[in-house]
Amino acid sequence: MLDGDVFDVPIRKDIVHRVVRWQLVKRQQGTHSTKTISEVSGTGRKPYKQKGTGRARHGTLRGPQVRGGATMHGPKPRSHAIKLQKKVRHLGLKIALSARTDEGKLLVFEDLEVPSHKTKNVVSYISQMEDTKKVLLVDGGDIDKKLKLATQNIHYVNVLPSIGLNVYSILQHDTLVMTRVPVNRSVERMCHAPIFIRIKNY
């Protein structure tokens, strides 16, 4: 039996959207950069005199109005990460797990051991599942070496440890296969996590 507090919660797309957005912006590198006027190489001399030429006034050839010059208010290296409360992240994971359970696309096994590292073993197992296009295998602790070798050449099968289970990966795969260890850990992490209440002093 699966815990209803984790695998049977109401589906809320807005919560899932917030969690997925939090995941995606967190992984952005934020290394894009443009040069300011102090970083552009070139002379600091005034190109021509201020008056009498009939041309526009210029004080430098490194300005943004000159070809090859600086970029004003351009991007600089920064973090794109946003804050999201832990209870919202937990709720998003509960919703994703509940959605797969409601669709009948959550399979729970005692273990994910395979007889050998041959890819054909995993392919034969996946072929027995109905309406399956992409499969996410979630095992507890370190991934078994034979399972890792057997799945690394199959583009529609991915393996994650229980600590790496996340909303975006669940949504990317139409079938979720878990062992008892990550199921129990998910319940323990999201149902028995301490709740801190902030008390205001009036």
> How far from the centroid of its chain's Cα atoms is residue 43's Cα?
45
Q: What is the pLDDT of residue 12?
A: 93
Q: What is the pLDDT of residue 196?
A: 38
Q: Is residue 92 part of a domain?
A: yes
In the 8-state DSSP scheme, what is residue 102? H
CB atoms within 10 A of CB 109: 13
Closest by Cα among 139, 131, 96, 97 to 114: 139
Q: Is residue 182 part of a domain?
A: yes
* Strands, sheet with 157-161, edge to edge from the N-terminal-most edge strand: 106-109, 175-179, 135-139, 157-161
Q: Is residue 62 part of a domain?
A: no
Higher pLDDT, 51 or 132: 51
Confidence of residue 198 (pLDDT cuts 50, 70, 90): very low
Q: Is residue 162 part of a domain?
A: yes
Amino acid at 118: K
Domain count, the chain: 1
Residue pointed to by tokens 């006027």: 37
CATH of the domain at 112: 3.40.1370.10
Phi, psi at residue 137, to the nearest 5°? -100, 125
Q: Is residue 59 part of a domain?
A: no
Q: Is residue 136 part of a domain?
A: yes
Among 31-45, 70-84, 125-139, which is the least confidently predicted range?
A: 125-139
Distance from C-alpha of 57 to C-alpha of 48, rounded to nearest angstrom? 9
Q: Is residue 168 part of a domain?
A: yes
User: Phi-psi region for residue 146, left (φ > 0), alpha (ψ -120 to 50) or beta?
Assistant: alpha
Question: What are 123-161's pLDDT values in tens digits?
Answer: 988 888 888 889 999 988 778 888 889 999 999 999 999
Average confidence score pLDDT of the chain: 88
- The domain containing residue 93 runs over which residues? 83-191
Helical residues (DSSP H) of the chain, grouped into ranges: 4-7, 13-26, 86-102, 119-127, 145-151, 167-172, 180-191
Question: What are 169-190's pLDDT values in tens digits?
Answer: 999 999 999 988 888 888 887 7
Q: Is residue 47 part of a domain?
A: no
